[in-house]
Amino acid sequence: QVQVVESGGGLVQAGGSLRLSCAASGNTFSINIIGWYRQAPGTQRELVASIDGGNRRYYADSVKGRFTISRDKTKNTVYLEMDSLKPEDTAVYYCRADAVLDGYWGQGTQVTVSS
């Protein structure tokens, strides 16, 4: 079993920055990849960024150049640094840890960007 807990969401003005954290616990050795997803009201959950065990990163086109995903293996934590935020980035952001046999979601953290 793996548990993931997100933190760092909040309200920010357009152009501002936020850093989200995803802390994993439990059988973290089984995790292959950790991803950040987001879901705005009335839309499907979408993958924003991910990082795997070899530090290979993926970014959605909508966030390239503005968001940076990183990890601190000593803390079993993955970060999402979000810069130049736009109102369309407003969503609940979820962390997902994909392990060998299953995937684990966090509870989500709200990010609201005001114009």
Pairing of strands 103-105, 18-26: unpaired
Strand (E) or helix (H) holding 7: strand 2-7
Per-residue pLDDT, 25: 93
On the question of pLDDT at 103 being above 90, the answer is: yes
Helix (H) or strand (E) holding 79: strand 77-82
C-alpha to C-alpha distance for 72 and 11, rounded to whole angstroms: 25
Q: What is the pLDDT of residue 92?
A: 98
Q: Using H for helix, E for strand and C for coil, what is the string for 88-106?
A: HHCEEEEEEEEECCCEEEC
Each residue's pLDDT tens digit, 23-77: 999 988 889 999 999 999 999 999 999 999 999 999 999 999 999 999 999 999 9
Neighbours of 35 (CB within 10 A): 21
